[in-house]
Amino acid sequence: MARAQNFVGLDIGSGMIRVAVSEKKENNLLALVGVGESPADGVRKGAIVDPNATARSIQKAIGDLKKNYGVVVDHATISLSEPRMTTYVARGTVSVSRADGEVTREDVTRAIEASEASLPRLGNREVVHSFPLFFAVDRDTRIREPVGLIGAKLEVETLFVAAFTPHIKNIFKAMSIAGIEVDDLVAAPYGASFHALSKKQKEIGTLLLDIGAQITTLAVFEESMLVALEVIPYGSGHITYDIGLGFQIDQISAERVKRNLSVFLEQGKKEIRLADLPKNFEETFSPKKLREIVGARLGDIFELVEKHLRRIERSELLPGGIVLSGGGSKLFGIVEAARESLRLPVEIAQGTPGVIGKKELILGPEWMKAMGLMRHAAEQHIPEGRMNGIFASPFTRRISKILRAFIP
């Protein structure tokens, strides 16, 4: 398969590794040609802790893709998701370069670079994304697209996303071992938004909440811009752990209970006898206790989400509500729990139009990151020079610095 014609998204999660591949057809539609997945080894809370083990899991996911769809890949856009990922906001000001005072795209680039230069020392973190929140040309403020305007001074306020440098290095190490070239490295919730959220949802104000196995990530969009990003150190795997601890059963049994929560809550002990679970679970089980265990952990997650929304002054103020993605979003009753806790409309991500393919490739919310990364790769393939409301720093501008620290 010709490299220039396919787009690959590779989601490295704590529980699973997923890969999605598409080809661009006429009228800019993407045709999904295959997917693959494998349990993730060597990943803890979104961060790679054993590159060799993770590389083997990546190879298994790619092998699954090849076996089922005959698709071979050697490059991908990779998800970045780890607890130390953080954001900064900084301002930068430059003089307009042209004699006639017309703002150029080069001026915009210089202003964003100036805002990055004003960041505090990041230590062992690397900036991986930069998003201008708004521009000002002389006294005209809160401008989204300044190119072509006339003025003497250009100012920008920029949101920067930074990640832990050792984690970035471990991603490249795992990819190198697996034989995969990194096309781009994208913050997971931002990448997921390319498939999980519509243009309208990003415009009116929406929270994308991705609940993974060991972490939950959130991204807030307004006026088509990413305005906030956060990582919460809890995921659906913590619910599994709590069930196991609460009923004193092993984690495999606890995971089965979680995945069949509706059955156990609605049919109770009658169903337990048919489920081949440990005897002590049947002896100690009650729907009320199970509901309390699950509700307590969901409460912890939603409390931290609400705390973040209050901090950015968006609590109960997002017209687009909340869109849930990730494997944890499939938990029974989670929509109602989120709606009650956060007092916003809530829905499960279904994927947005723009991708065609085989009917058997109708994928659930756990595929939003891999699919979104794939669509992000396709968008980045468009020739440079567009702005479309988002200006992400070119990945290649930073890659050499990261690789110099990694490669002897």
Nearest alpha-carbon partner for 258 in 235, 283, 232, 280 = 235
End position of a domain, from candidates 348, 372, 396: 348
Do both 232 and 137 map to the same domain? Answer: no
Look up tokens 């401008």; give the residue.
143
Let me know: does 128 contact 185? Beta carbons within 8 Å.
Answer: yes
Do both 213 and 320 map to the same domain? Answer: yes
Q: Give the distance, in angstroms, between the CA of residue 236 and the centroid of all CA atoms in the same chain.
A: 16
Residue 111 sits in a domain of what CATH number?
A: 3.30.1490
Query: Which residue type occupies 372?
Result: G
Query: Which residue type occupies 392?
Result: A
For 340, the token pair is 């009650």
Do both 236 and 319 map to the same domain? Answer: yes
pLDDT tens by residue, 21-65: 999 887 778 899 999 999 999 999 999 999 999 999 999 999 999
- H-helix segments, 36-153: 51-69, 105-117
pLDDT tens by residue, 200-228: 999 999 999 999 999 999 999 999 999 99
Do both 224 and 155 map to the same domain? Answer: no
What is the domain extent for residue 207? 198-348
Residue 266 lies in a domain: yes
Measured between alpha carbons, how far is 281 from 272 in angstroms, rounded to an integer?
A: 8
**Residue 168: is its pLDDT beyond 90?**
yes
pLDDT of residue 141: 85
Lowest mean pLDDT among 9-23, 296-310, 354-368, 392-406: 392-406
> What is the pLDDT averaged over residues 2-19?
86
**256: Cβ–Cβ under 8 A, 6 or more apart, which residues?**
275, 277
Strand order in the sheet with 225-232: 225-232, 216-222, 206-211, 322-325, 346-348
Number of domains, the chain: 2
Question: Who wins on pLDDT, 276 or 225?
Answer: 225
pLDDT of residue 83: 85
CA distances from 205 to 83, 199, 391 (A): 24, 10, 19
> What is the pLDDT averaged over residues 76-95?
93
pLDDT of residue 272: 58
Measured between alpha carbons, how far is 167 from 187 in angstroms, rounded to an integer?
A: 13
Residue 115 lies in a domain: yes
Do both 149 and 253 map to the same domain? Answer: no
**Residue 148: is its pLDDT beyond 60?**
yes
Let me know: does 53 contact 141? Beta carbons within 8 Å.
Answer: no
pLDDT of residue 404: 46
Residue 105 lies in a domain: yes
End position of a domain, from candidates 163, 187, 206: 163
Task: Compute the Cα dihedral for 377, 125, 403, 159 and give only its sign.
Answer: positive
Q: Please, what is the average pLDDT of the chain?
A: 88
Confidence of residue 360 (pLDDT cuts 50, 70, 90): low
| Beta partners for residue 348, in sequence order | 324
* Percentage of the chain modeled with pLDDT above 70: 89
Residue 55 lies in a domain: no
- Concatenated DSSP letters of 284-298: H--HHHHHHHHHHHH
Do both 226 and 271 map to the same domain? Answer: yes
Residue 294 lies in a domain: yes
Do both 130 and 202 map to the same domain? Answer: no
- The CA-CA-CA angle for residues 383, 389, 395, to 5°, reads 50
- The CA-CA-CA angle for residues 196, 254, 81, to 5°, reads 35
Residue 59 lies in a domain: no
Can you give the length of the chain in residues?
408
Task: Compute the Cα dihedral for 302, 306, 312, 318 and give only its sign.
Answer: positive
CA distances from 188 to 210, 244, 253 (A): 9, 29, 30
- The CA-CA-CA angle for residues 246, 249, 255, to 5°, reads 90
**Residue 3: is its pLDDT beyond 50?**
no
**Residue 362: is its pLDDT beyond 50?**
yes
Do both 308 and 232 map to the same domain? Answer: yes
Confidence of residue 271 (pLDDT cuts 50, 70, 90): low
Lowest mean pLDDT among 217-226, 292-301, 395-404: 395-404
Q: Give the distance, in angstroms, between the CA of residue 351 and the centroid of all CA atoms in the same chain.
A: 14
Residue 267 sits in a domain of what CATH number?
A: 3.30.420.40
Do both 155 and 212 map to the same domain? Answer: no
Residue 357 lies in a domain: no
Do both 210 and 329 map to the same domain? Answer: yes
End position of a domain, from candidates 147, 163, 179: 163
Let me know: does 308 contact 231? Beta carbons within 8 Å.
Answer: no
Residue 5 lies in a domain: no
Lowest mean pLDDT among 224-238, 259-273, 330-344, 387-401: 387-401
- H-helix segments, 312-345: 334-342
Measured between alpha carbons, how far is 379 from 358 in angstroms, rounded to an integer?
A: 22
Do both 248 and 299 map to the same domain? Answer: yes
Do both 147 and 207 map to the same domain? Answer: no
